[in-house]
Amino acid sequence: MADILFTNVRVFDGGGETPFTGEVLVQGNRIARVTQSSPGARSQLVFGAKVVDGAGAFLMPGMIEAHTHFSWNDQPNLESIQRMPPEEHILWCAQVAEKYLDMGWTSCVGAATAKPRLDVVIRNAINDGTIKGPRYLAASQEITVPGGLGDTTAPHLPQPEFAFGAIVSGSEEMRRCVRMFCKYGVDSLKINLSGESITGMSSEMSQFTEEEIAVCVQEAKSWGKRVAAHARSTWAIKQCVKHGIEVIYHASFADEEALDLLEANKFDHFIAPGLAWLINTCHHASAWGLTPEVVNRMGYPRELEAAIESMRAMRRRGIRILPGGDYGFAWTPHGTNARDLEYFVSQVGMSPMEALLSATAWGGPMMKMGKQLGYIREGCLADILLIDGDPLVDITVLQKKERILAVMKDGEFHRAPPIRDLRTTRWAA
């Protein structure tokens, strides 16, 4: 692996400062040196390092997606995900993993997998080099109750293979389920604490007994695993704080008490609202039968309003809000994830700087890697993007593959910057 010296780049280092013009040296899989240069200064060449002249491009840390479902297959419903056979499903996941890396997501946090081992296998295959993909934390299936979000069995087809989630009832079934996923090697357990309006159980409703939740968290923690919750309802959000569930997805209906609880424990939790799902289900899913009347009946516009309100309040209180929006449905296809950052600016009131930090600086602890990730600083892991344009001026440039000139993960180019090629003749031998 050749060392790389990026010259003539505008460095956004993840610390919240205004970018500066400078150079970044990568040695092995780490950032070895970051220097600020003055206009016209000659770059300090490093013996043996390949020089990439950034021509003024924006250099930033690789982004971290906090709510990823590689196994969602860009279809309009949960049943279509479940009907994909496991062989095709694993190839699909591998393809999606590479797409995320292509789009600048050098780390992803798995938020649930559609079949028991998909996430674990993909994580292992990325780590051993079998496939290309981001750094990844593998999730379990969604653990749910009969009739809850994730129970896609039909009364006349009650076989568990038809279910998208793992269905448990009672604390001993919960314990067995958590143990099974821990045996498979997941990094986190996903528990569905609230409903989801599209499934027929309203997002404001909750499920599971406190005893079941306690068993899930206790068993997961005794295995050293993290718990993440689908928690749209007020009760569910509060349960997360009460039981120490670190990752709270959605958190749409946060009342004052919930906000106070979150604020009081703000370094113990991450919030990933998944706004993309709400926004696109409300406004861009008519082609799939989710017309304004239908989504109104389901209650999504009201939830979207509540969620925006909740996120604005959380932002004001300094609670960490991270991007990752349930991508992988027909109207939220994989690869468009950077829209979340746009929504953070346009809906939640973040500055572009805050939105960028939510995808970088807060991603390190979300990946359980502290400050090694998410910064362009000496000693940090070399996950680096080179952007054509300035995301601080126009956050949407991060949605366009052609504007992401290069993606480096762990010191290696996944996508090398395009080289201006004057020659059309190639010489073999």
Partner 1 sequence: MHKTPQEVLFTNARILDGSGQMPYSGSVRVRGNRIVQINRSIGSVSAGDAVVIDAAGSTLMPGMTEAHTHFSWNDSSSLAGIQTMPLEEHVLWSAKVAHRYLKAGFTSCLGAACAKPRLDVVIRNAIESGQIPGPRYLAASQEITVPGGLGDEMLPHLPFPDFSFGVVVNGSEDLRRVTRNFLKYGVDHIKLNLSGDNFVPGADAKTTWMTDAEVAACAEEVRMRGKRIIVHARSCASVKQALRHGVRLIYHASFTDTEALDMLDAVKHEVFIAPGIGILYALLNESEPWGIDRAKAIAMGYEEEWEAACQSLKAMHRRGIRVLPGGDYGFAFNPHLQNARDLEFFVKYLGFTPMEAIKSCTLHGGAIMMRQNELGLIKESFLADLLLIDGDPLAALSILRDPERILAVMKDGVFAKMPPIDQARTWGRAA
- Return residues touching partner 1 (CB under 8 A): 50-57, 85-88, 90-91, 94-95, 117-118, 121, 124-125, 130-131, 386, 388, 405-406, 416-420, 424-429
In this structure, what token pair is assigned to residue 348?
Answer: 């939640």
What's the CA gap between 400 and 76, in Å, rounded? 24
Cβ neighbourhood burial of 73 (10 Å; 0-12, 13-18, 19+): buried
Could you give the dihedral angle defined by the CA atoms of residues 85, 90, 92 and 98, in that order, rounded to the nearest 10 degrees?
A: 180
In this structure, what token pair is assigned to residue 392?
Answer: 């601080």
Residues 6+ apart with CB under 8 A from 22: 9, 10, 11, 34, 35, 36, 37
Residue with tokens 């516009």: 301
φ, ψ (nearest 5 deg) of residue 191: -125, 135
Residue 98 beta carbon to partner 1: minimum distance, rounded to whole angstroms:
11
What's the CA gap between 317 and 294, in Å, rounded? 34
φ, ψ (nearest 5 deg) of residue 32: -95, -30
Cβ-based nearer residue to partner 1, 56 or 170: 56
Closest CA to 93 of 49, 63, 128, 138: 138
Report in angstroms the alpha-carbon separations of 346 from 7, 136, 285, 355, 403.
Answer: 33, 29, 20, 10, 21
Residue 52 beta carbon to partner 1: minimum distance, rounded to whole angstroms:
6
The residue type found at 322 is L
Residue 41 beta carbon to partner 1: minimum distance, rounded to whole angstroms:
18
Cβ-based nearer residue to partner 1, 86 or 301: 86
In this structure, what token pair is assigned to residue 107?
Answer: 């780390």
Cβ-based nearer residue to partner 1, 373 or 408: 408
Alpha helix positions (H), 317-399:
339-343, 352-359, 363-366
Cβ-based nearer residue to partner 1, 216 or 408: 408
Residue 115 beta carbon to partner 1: minimum distance, rounded to whole angstroms:
8
Cβ-based nearer residue to partner 1, 31 or 66: 31
Residue 395 beta carbon to partner 1: minimum distance, rounded to whole angstroms:
20
What's the CA gap between 292 and 247, in Å, rounded? 31
Residues 6+ apart with CB under 8 A from 52: 4, 5, 6, 7, 386, 406, 417
Cβ-based nearer residue to partner 1, 88 or 211: 88
Cβ-based nearer residue to partner 1, 94 or 319: 94
Residue 7 beta carbon to partner 1: minimum distance, rounded to whole angstroms:
9
Residue 117 beta carbon to partner 1: minimum distance, rounded to whole angstroms:
5
Q: What is the DSSP letter of 403?
A: G
Residue with tokens 């995808």: 359
Cβ-based nearer residue to partner 1, 77 or 95: 95
Residue 397 beta carbon to partner 1: minimum distance, rounded to whole angstroms:
13
Cβ-based nearer residue to partner 1, 20 or 235: 20
Residue 425 beta carbon to partner 1: minimum distance, rounded to whole angstroms:
5
